[in-house]
Structure formats: C-alpha cells, structure tokens
Amino acid sequence: MKSSYPENQVKLARFAKAMGHPARIKILEILSSQGCCYSGNIADDFPIALSTLSQHLKELKASGLIQGEINPPRIKYCINKENWEIAQTLFYTFLQSKHKVTETSCE
C-alpha cells in the first residue's frame, strides 16, 4: 500500500487549487492590498454574479487563505495571515527546489 502524501504537499496542492481561477487571484489581490473588505464591496470590482463571487470566496475560505467574519447582514473577508505566510513559503520552496526542468524531450 502506498504511503500518504506529506503534509506540505497536501497544503501546497490545496492552496494551488484555491488559486486556480483568475477571479480568486483578483480577490486575493484586493484583500491583500486593502486588509479587509465586505463581500458586497468586492462584488463592485467583478463582472460576475454575486452568487458566483460567493462560490469563489467559499473556495478561498475552505483552503484557509482567507477568513470571514459575519456582521449581519454582511460578511467581512480578510487574508488569513498565518496561512498566507505558509502558502508563500511552500510555493517559494517548491519553485526554488532541486526540481529543475531539464532540456530533455518527452518524445
């Protein structure tokens, strides 16, 4: 039986999946530049339905990259600083690692 994946690989994959859509990248850019923002204010910058934006926010929150605070009737979103730093470290380590691309052909 194969062993499970190391925790760092699981975390990196979860963060990468969450960042795998341009709308989510834009959300992260907005939140990282403004600190916190209400979902309604984020919607002003997007040409997508509010329900679609909500799904993107849900995916980012599930990954741990952002956190939400409910202030009825609105939700305030912020970058989760602890997980953001972990993501930065994991991506940097992975991209700077010894997994260099070689000049070989796959043919």
Q: Where are the domains of the chain?
A: 7-96
pTM of the model: 0.83
Query: 35 or 67, which is more confident?
Result: 67
Closest CA to 53 of 80, 61, 14: 61
As a whole number of angstroms, the distance between CA 63 and CA 107 comes to 37
pLDDT class for 21, splitting at 50, 70, 90? very high
How does pLDDT run across 72-92, given as a tens digit for each residue?
Answer: 888 999 999 999 999 999 999
The pLDDT > 70 percentage for the chain reads 88
Mean residue pLDDT across the chain: 88
Q: Which of 27-63 are b and which e, b meaning 16 or more Cβ less than 10 Å from the residue's Cβ?
A: bbebbeeeeebebeebeeeeeeeeeebeebbebbbeb
Check residue 2 and give its pLDDT: 65
Decide if domain 7-96 falls under CATH 1.10.10.10. yes
Check residue 44 and give its pLDDT: 82
